[in-house]
Amino acid sequence: MLSQIGRLVVASHNPGKVHEIAALLAPFGIDAISAGALGLPEPEETEPTFVGNARLKAEAAARASGLAALADDSGLEVAALGGAPGVLSARWAEPTTGAGRDFAAAMRRVWTELAGAPDRSARFVCVLALARPGEETYIFEGEVRGHIVWPPRGEHGFGYDPIFVPEGYDITFGEMAPEEKHKISHRARAFARFVDALR
């Protein structure tokens, strides 16, 4: 059923994300265009869950464009913090001054709030939502489990990568070669499920 998609709006204003998704969809004959290029507004992420926010973004883009739309939402959940920062992962890095995002401060906050708790387990989650006008929205989820370390290590990746060690490894995502991270990441796993549904 998903193979009937010819054109798809990527509900993101992040050119890097749109480019990556377009490359992934090209082999399926799907022409991906960005919400930004269509001049679609970027809705507020007001839901308390990744599924809720991905759904909200995809459905808004599908409604506004009349096309199929794909959106993602992702973040870090730390067990001892009750799942925080969760859907607020990007917001924890928002600057108090006018500067760009401050992930050094966001990582420090994770460590401070852990306050020596023995349970350091955490996971990255990625949810993809595929919405089509007048049809039911599909949800695809991926996760990678691991634990938090301190101090941050590694120069690769982005966001919380330098304090996250994935299960089965002793290096952080920040120390891992990008190709290696892309094989096991929450995003790769969610996309694998989405691509399976396209087949």
Q: Which positions are catalytic?
A: 73
Instruction: Report whether 173 contacts 151 (CB < 8 A).
Output: no
Question: How many Cβ atoms from other residues are within 10 Å of residue 116's Cβ?
Answer: 6
Q: Which is nearer to ligand IMP, 11 or 134 (CB)?
A: 11
CB 123, min distance to ligand IMP, A: 11
CB 89, min distance to ligand IMP, A: 3
- Write the DSSP assignment of 131-195 as a string of letters: E-TTSPPEEEEEEEEEEE-SS---SSSSTTGGGEEETT-SS-TTTS-HHHHHHHSHHHHHHHHHH
CB 157, min distance to ligand IMP, A: 6
Using CB under 6 A, pick the residue from 25, 68, 69, 76 that binds ligand IMP: 76
* Residue span binding ligand IMP (CB under 6 A) among the ranges 2-10, 26-34, 134-142, 151-159: 151-159
Closest residue to ligand IMP, based on beta-carbon distance: 159
Q: What letter does residue 67 receive in the DSSP assignment? A: S
Assess 124 for contact with ligand IMP (CB under 6 A).
Answer: yes
Binding mask 80-119 for ligand IMP (x = CB under 6 A): ---------xx--x--------------------------
Contacts 24+ apart (CB under 8 A), 49-56: 49/87, 50/74, 50/75, 50/86, 50/87, 50/125, 50/126, 50/127, 50/141, 51/127, 51/129, 51/139, 51/141, 53/87, 53/127, 54/127, 54/128, 54/129, 54/139, 55/129, 55/131, 55/137, 55/139
Assess 59 for contact with ligand IMP (CB under 6 A).
Answer: no
Assess 75 for contact with ligand IMP (CB under 6 A).
Answer: yes
Assess 73 for contact with ligand IMP (CB under 6 A).
Answer: yes
Assess 160 for contact with ligand IMP (CB under 6 A).
Answer: yes
- What residues line the site for ligand IMP (CB under 6 A)? 72-76, 89-90, 93, 124, 157-161, 173, 185
